[in-house]
Amino acid sequence: MNVSRGRRDSGMPALAAYYAVAICLALAVLAGRASGGGEIEKARHYSLVGDWQRAAGLYEEASAGGLGREDMDRLAEAYYYLGKTDKAAEVIDRALKLSDSLPTRILRALVDAQREAPEGPLSVLSRMLSGGRDDFRVYAAMGMISMRSDTKKALEYFNRSIELNPDCFDAWYYSGVIHEEAEEFEEATKAYQQAVKINPLFARAQNNLGYSFKERHFYAYAVERYLKAIELMPDHAGFYYNLGNAYTHQEKIDEAFEAYRKAVELEPSFAKAHYNLGRTYLRKDKVREAINEFRLYLKYGNSAVFSFVSPAAAVEDEISQLEYYLKYNSARPTQKGIAR
């Protein structure tokens, strides 16, 4: 989903990539309440940040000593967002043997929805509704499942969740995702702002808020949020790419150059970052370096990237023109385009 598209992060163009976010509804208790040592505390922190790879790794190291139910939920959550649904289901089954808790059963429904048609998990969730305040968790999960096929219905579920609990992170975050995908950026900004108030540690929420600001031409605010996302997850190439785009719109070419350079350092096959780095090289009169970046763009790009950024044929033609300029020592070529 956009968790990584050229607009927002390293390549999250569609709704599905956005699915890499924290589940308030699946985690009833925040980091400090379960017992555990240093590795577990770090794992809880990375779970709140949304760094699933690190969270899963640390939980795996600590699991030999046994995990409580809440930490097992977090490990299952990390596996879920890493696409390891079989592992997630295995951990959930163990957690349910410890306690048949509502958050764990909700998490199981979310995992099942990735492995089968959504109607079954939605039916399971509907039977969990009790008429109590904890229904906010169930409505949020129903929204998360529904948003893949019926965003209007998903928003209804999220709004119901927020009515019951205004502090449900997922309901606000995913509402922002839906509004962003519909290019309703003012509404997306409002939803993401609520999300980061609830969990300011979740890096992708900070990043997505930055993107909504960028699309509304509030570039300074966008830069601020992108930098916060990078502070939380400093090895996420997409955040640097987005930062470079915001700097480009501010005409801060040196800052944009450094951001794009860092993006391709972290993710050498990041085609869109290579393209924009090439454009910044041209702005800095470094034609040979620009040509190299454009070639890497062609090497790593695909049809979706070429459609979104610049067609392969157009880039090949530009490379030929730049090589001609170099060969005959012509004046600096005309600069085209701007970071997408």
Residue 299 lies in a domain: yes
* C-alpha dihedral, 42 to 47 to 51 to 54, nearest 10°: 40
- pLDDT higher for 335 or 309? 309
89 Cβ contact partners less than 8 Å away, ≥ 6 residues apart:
76, 108, 111, 112, 115
- pLDDT higher for 294 or 17? 294
Q: What is the mean pLDDT of residues 69-82?
A: 95
Overall domain count for the chain:
1
Q: Are the C-beta atoms of residues 35 and 68 closer than 8 Å to each other? A: yes
Question: Residue 333's pLDDT band (boundaries 50, 70, 90)?
Answer: low
173, pLDDT greater than 60: yes
Structure tokens, 204: 């992708």
Q: What percent of the chain has a predicted confidence (pLDDT) above 70?
A: 86
Q: What is the mean pLDDT of residues 300-322?
A: 96
CA distance 49 to 229: 9
Phi and psi (nearest 5°) for 239?
-65, -40
Please return the burial class of 302, using the count of CB atoms within 10 Å of its CB with bins 0-12, 13-18 and 19+. exposed
Question: Residue 12's pLDDT band (boundaries 50, 70, 90)?
Answer: very low
22, pLDDT greater than 60: no
The whole-number pLDDT of residue 208 equals 98
Please return the burial class of 324, using the count of CB atoms within 10 Å of its CB with bins 0-12, 13-18 and 19+. exposed
- pLDDT higher for 22 or 252? 252
Residue 153 lies in a domain: no
The whole-number pLDDT of residue 108 equals 96
Question: Residue 79's pLDDT band (boundaries 50, 70, 90)?
Answer: very high
- pLDDT higher for 328 or 335? 328
Residue 201 lies in a domain: no
Structure tokens, 181: 């995908």
Amino acid code (one letter) for 79: Y
The whole-number pLDDT of residue 279 equals 98
287, pLDDT greater than 80: yes
CA distance 205 to 327: 47
The whole-number pLDDT of residue 72 equals 95
Residue 185 lies in a domain: no
Length of the chain: 340
**Helices first, then strands: H and E counts in the chain:** 18, 0
**Mean predicted lDDT score pLDDT of the chain:** 88
Q: What is the mean pLDDT of residues 226-243?
A: 98
Helix, strand, coil percent values for the chain (each to nearest 5): 70, 0, 30
254, pLDDT greater than 70: yes
Residue 313 lies in a domain: yes
Question: Residue 328's pLDDT band (boundaries 50, 70, 90)?
Answer: confident
Cα distance between the two ends of the chain: 17
Question: If you write DSSP's letter for every residue of 231-277 in order, what string do you get?
Answer: HH-TT-HHHHHHHHHHHHHTT-HHHHHHHHHHHHHH-TT-HHHHHHH
Residue 261 lies in a domain: no
Residue 207 lies in a domain: no
Question: CB neighbours (10 Å) of residue 186?
Answer: 10
Give the residue carrying structure tokens 């890499």. Answer: 20
Q: Are the C-beta atoms of residues 17 and 270 closer than 8 Å to each other? A: no
Q: Are the C-beta atoms of residues 320 and 333 closer than 8 Å to each other? A: no
Q: What is the mean pLDDT of residues 151-164?
A: 98
Q: Are the C-beta atoms of residues 171 and 143 closer than 8 Å to each other? A: yes
Query: What is the DSSP-derived secondary structure letter of residue 17?
Result: G
Q: What is the pTM of this model?
A: 0.86
Q: Check the CA dihedral 232-236-237-242 and report its sign.
A: negative
* Lowest pLDDT segment from 10-19, 46-55, 99-108, 251-260: 10-19
Residue 319 lies in a domain: yes
332, pLDDT greater than 70: no
The whole-number pLDDT of residue 1 equals 29
The range of the structural domain enclosing residue 284 comes to 268-340
The whole-number pLDDT of residue 63 equals 83
252, pLDDT greater than 70: yes
Structure tokens, 50: 């949304």
The whole-number pLDDT of residue 335 equals 55
